[in-house]
């Protein structure tokens, strides 16, 4: 593995619909061991409640205030909050602040960052997305919870 630097403003930014994602460290750069992404969400936006079957996720709120659900708990956290999300636990968040929130996520193993790239590519297509996104979620072991 080579040293990796993700300078401010240099990471590719993906449009995920309800959030932007800065792709800080790609899993291919780490031999699949982990990847690092940064979610940028406007007030009222975020990531819906979902479960990963294959990855653990360590998240750190770099900036802002979010309402986060971890399993059965929902709480409001601010800059500096950190959480470890084991695979299989429902989790999601919404920006409950008045400015952009920035949430750094370290995903292990790293393959899940490929899901975000493919999701961004799908959302850029001018067609209905429901079936392709459902197939993508199934392929990457992600299940959204109502």
**Amino acid 122: pLDDT:** 94
Task: Measure CA 71 to chain center.
Answer: 17
Q: What ranges do the domains of the chain cover?
A: 13-144
Residues 6+ apart with CB under 8 A from 9: none
Length of the chain, in residues: 146
pTM: 0.93
Tell me the CATH architecture of domain 13-144.
Sandwich (2.60)
pLDDT average per 10 residues of sequence, the chain (146 residues):
90 94 96 97 96 96 97 96 95 97 97 95 92 96 92
The whole-angstrom separation of Cα 43 and Cα 13 is 18
Beta strands in 64-123 (DSSP E): 65-70, 73-78, 82-85, 91-95, 101-108
């Amino acid at each position: 593995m080579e040293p990796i630097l993700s300078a401010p403003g240099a990471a590719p930014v993906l449009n995920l619909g309800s959030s932007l994602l800065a792709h800080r460290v790609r899993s291919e750069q780490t031999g699949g061991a982990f990847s690092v992404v940064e979610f940028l969400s406007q007030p009222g936006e975020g990531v819906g409640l979902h479960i990963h079957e294959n990855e653990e996720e360590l998240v750190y709120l770099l900036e802002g205030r979010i309402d986060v659900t971890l399993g059965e708990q929902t709480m409001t956290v601010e800059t500096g909050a950190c959480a470890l999300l084991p695979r299989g636990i429902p989790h999601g968040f919404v920006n409950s602040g008045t400015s952009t929130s920035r949430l750094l996520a370290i995903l292990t193993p790293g393959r899940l960052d490929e899901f975000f790239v493919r999701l961004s590519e799908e959302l850029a297509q001018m067609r209905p997305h429901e079936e392709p996104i459902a197939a993508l979620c199934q392929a990457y072991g992600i299940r959204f919870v109502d």
